[in-house]
């Protein structure tokens, strides 16, 4: 691995530590304290033990007892403080783990809809979340940096002690052994051997980690497929219907077996890799231990150090080897994490493609918000064809409007642009004469209560779904439920508005029509000045549909309302009908006027009328 890459990894790592510190300024100092405690504890024990052994050998038993007591007290005090800190860290680690997801989701919410709709974004979020599950999140980054720092301090301290040992001069033995154990020879021979071992360990571990990373990368696709099969197919009770009707059981089991085989092969290869690495590590550490003991025995034999010092230096060298292994391990782990951590930081830095407006939206009790499209065209990102072409229209103030047209004519796109989910490619949309891009986005969206075709309800309680982000009031919830025609259904539920909905997630299952009515209740609850219903009644029976329209008619009396419907009969009662064709408005007027024109509207009307006579 070249230096540039290592620098890049640590730049990413340190940036993340900075962010963690900003979130909670106690985490890093507490970890530093733990490092200091563990280093002091480890080396104090070595020094005290060495003195203790020398005292025993020298027959100074009183001193030996005193030293033993000091040793025990140090171990106890530092041990207790360390374990209290580690217990605290456990809670912190969980917080850090969750923080990673919170940051991702916060960012996803802050992104403009246009970007969020792009499948690449969903894949990116999935990749970040899944890789963090495999390699660890922010808590793991902190852990590895602590390991690295602790290892560096230990290696430095041990190296310093070994340097001191090398300096110890021989006082007896033959000229040859005195020369071999002299400070210069000690530094050259032992220092060289140590350095060689460390370099070889780095290379050796690096080789296997790289191999493992490649295997994991290939394996991520398999894991994703298994997770899809499990979550979306085997554990999805709704999929069960389709599987049985279309006899897909055998095909699915065959698919699942094929993926399981890949998992088995992956683990086989992974185990063989670990075995080879484990064997290599054992050989390296045995050679290292053999070398250090040989060196120490020589130093004791020529009288350079005492027997007590032997234990001290043996311990220091063992700690050096252990710290070195920890350093390599953590460095490699960070290396594995670096790719996705860099992508994570990139993701957090994504700019919104939308213009950020700051002008507040005027709060008007009279609800007089006039919206207009001025020569608006729009092309979806990555699509060659415009979905809207030169749309120029004013939305009638407090009028009941309808938008009609064949599938793909651009009706939903028109609404999405109106709600500022997308920005026009050309032209502008205005609110009371001002370009909507200039307004504060959230305040602007507060103007709309929308029931989309693919309305989404979530596996929360009825109350949470209806009130959404607009402050929960039981009275208002019941009013909205009543107006949407679903009050009786909710009254029958075991916990009324506190009942969890959506069966697959442990809630109650409601019919398609009931769910759609709840979506309507949510739009009513918002009590926005502009109400938009995009195919709102598709799942309703004709009686419910009529009731909903009547109720909505009442509700939107003082509002601007827009209905998008394929059922032409529901447009009949609108004051103003916009007819879309191939992304443009081709006709506009009242039901009678449009029928009299005998154009596209009349054709659509005729086409449906024949099913009703």
Lookup: tokens for 525: 């609850």
Cβ contact 509:237 at 8 Å: no
Helix H or strand E segment including 287:
helix 249-301
CB of residue 201 vs ligand ADP: minimum separation in angstroms?
53
Q: How far is the CB of 565 from ligand ADP (least distance, A)?
A: 11
Question: Judged by CB, which is closer to ligand ADP: 357, or 405?
Answer: 405
* Least distance CB 605 / ligand ADP (angstroms): 17
List b or e across 99-123, with b for residues whose CB sees 16 or more CB atoms inside 10 angstroms. Answer: bbeebbeeebeebbebbeeeeebee
- Given the complex with ligand ADP, which of 29 and 381 has the nearer CB atom? 381
Closer of 328 and 533 to ligand ADP (Cβ): 533
- Smallest gap from residue 453 Cβ to ligand ADP (A): 8
Q: Which is nearer to ligand ADP, 409 or 436 (CB)?
A: 409
Between residues 358 and 383, which has the closer beta carbon with respect to ligand ADP? 383
- 394: helix, coil or strand? strand
* Phi, then psi, of 575 in degrees rounded to 5: -75, -30
Q: Parallel, antiparallel, or unpaired for β 448-451 and 371-379?
A: unpaired
Nearest approach in angstroms of CB 414 to ligand ADP is: 7
> Rounded CA gap, 229 and 513, in Å?
29
- Nearest to ligand ADP of 305, 376 (CB atom): 376
How would DSSP label each residue in 245-280? HTT-HHHHHHHHHHHHHHHHHHHHHHHHHHHHHHHH
At 89 the three-state DSSP class reads helix
Burial profile 316-352: b = 16 or more Cβ within 10 angstroms, e = fewer: bbbbbbbbbbbbbbbbbbbbbbbbbbbebeebeeeee
Which residue, 326 or 534, is less far from ligand ADP as judged by CB?
534
Find the shortest distance in angstroms from Cβ 125 to ligand ADP. Answer: 18
Min. distance of Cβ 403 from ligand ADP in angstroms?
8
> Which two three-digit tokens encode residue 121?
């974004």
Q: Closer CB to ligand ADP, residue 182 or residue 516?
A: 516
> Which residues lie near ligand ADP (CB under 6 A)?
117, 380, 383, 387, 405, 407-413
> Nearest distance from residue 465's CB to ligand ADP, in Å?
25
DSSP tag of 499: -
- Residue closer to ligand ADP by CB (options 400, 411) is 411
Dist. CA 391–CA 316, nearest whole Å: 79
Shortest distance, position 604 Cβ to ligand ADP, whole Å: 12
What per-residue string of b and e applies to 507-519 under the rule 16 or more CB within 10 Å gives b?
beebeebbbbbbb
The H-or-E segment that residue 80 falls in is: helix 61-110
Distances (CA, A) of 77 to 33, 44, 150, 170: 14, 12, 19, 38
At closest approach, how far in Å is the CB of 451 from ligand ADP? 14
Residue 361 or 387 with smaller CB distance to ligand ADP = 387
């Amino acid at each position: 691995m070249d230096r540039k890459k290592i620098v890049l990894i640590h730049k990413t790592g340190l940036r993340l530590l900075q962010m963690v510190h900003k979130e909670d300024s106690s985490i890093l100092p507490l970890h530093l304290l733990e490092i200091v405690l563990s280093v002091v504890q480890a080396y104090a024990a070595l020094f005290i033990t060495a003195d203790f052994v020398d005292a025993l050998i020298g027959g100074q038993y009183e001193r030996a007892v005193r030293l033993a007591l000091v040793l025990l007290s140090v171990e106890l005090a530092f041990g207790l403080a360390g374990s209290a800190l580690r217990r605290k860290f456990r809670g912190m680690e969980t917080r850090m783990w969750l923080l990673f997801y919170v940051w991702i989701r916060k960012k996803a919410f802050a992104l403009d809809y246009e970007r969020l709709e792009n499948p690449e974004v969903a894949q990116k979020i999935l990749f970040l979340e899944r890789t963090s599950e495999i390699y660890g999140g922010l808590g793991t980054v902190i852990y590895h940096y602590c390991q690295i720092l602790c290892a560096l301090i230990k290696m430095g301290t041990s190296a310093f002690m070994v340097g001191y040992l090398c300096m110890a001069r021989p006082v007896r033995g033959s000229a040859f052994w005195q020369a071999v154990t002299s400070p210069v020879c000690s530094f050259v021979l032992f220092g060289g051997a140590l350095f060689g071992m460390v370099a070889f360990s780095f290379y050796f571990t690096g080789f296997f980690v790289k191999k493992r990373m490649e295997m994991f990368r290939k394996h991520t696709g398999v894991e994703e497929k298994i997770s899809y099969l499990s979550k979306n197919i085997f554990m999805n009770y709704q999929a069960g219907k389709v599987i049985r009707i279309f006899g897909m059981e055998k095909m699915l089991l065959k698919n699942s077996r094929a993926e399981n085989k890949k998992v088995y092969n992956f683990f086989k290869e992974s185990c063989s890799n670990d075995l080879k690495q484990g064997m290599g590590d054992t050989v390296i550490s045995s050679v290292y231990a053999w070398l250090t003991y040989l060196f120490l025995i020589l130093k004791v034999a020529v009288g350079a150090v005492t027997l007590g010092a032997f234990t001290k230096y043996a311990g220091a060298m063992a700690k050096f080897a252990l710290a070195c292994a920890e350093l390599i391990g953590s460095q490699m782990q960070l290396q594995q994490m670096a790719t996705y951590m860099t992508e994570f930081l990139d993701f957090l830095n994504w700019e919104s493609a939308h213009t950020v407006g700051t002008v507040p939206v005027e709060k008007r009790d009279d609800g007089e918000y006039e919206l207009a499209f001025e020569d608006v065209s729009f092309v979806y990102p990555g699509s060659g064809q415009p979905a809207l072409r030169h749309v120029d229209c004013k939305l009638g103030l407090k009028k009941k409007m309808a938008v009609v047209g064949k599938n793909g004519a651009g009706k939903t796109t028109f609404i999405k642009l109106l709600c500022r989910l997308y920005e026009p490619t050309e032209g502008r949309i205005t609110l009371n004469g001002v370009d909507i891009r200039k307004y504060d986005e959230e305040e602007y969206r507060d103007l709309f209560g929308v029931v989309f075709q693919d309305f989404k309800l979530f596996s929360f309680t009825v109350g949470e779904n209806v009130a959404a982000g607009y402050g929960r009031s039981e009275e208002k919830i019941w009013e909205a439920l009543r107006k949407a025609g679903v009050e009786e259904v909710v009254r029958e539920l075991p916990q009324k508005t506190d009942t969890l909905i959506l069966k697959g997630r442990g809630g109650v299952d409601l019919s398609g029509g009931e769910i759609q009515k709840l979506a309507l209740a949510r739009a009513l609850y918002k009590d926005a000045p502009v109400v938009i219903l995009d195919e709102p009644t598709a799942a309703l029976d004709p009686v419910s549909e009529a009731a909903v329209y009547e109720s909505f008619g009442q509700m939107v009396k003082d509002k601007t309302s827009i209905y998008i419907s394929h059922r032409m009969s529901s447009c009949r009662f609108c004051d103003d009908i916009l007819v879309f064709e191939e992304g443009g408005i081709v006709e506009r007027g009242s039901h009678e006027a449009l029928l009299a024109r005998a154009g596209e509207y009349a054709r659509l009307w005729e086409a449906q009328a024949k099913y009703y006579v």
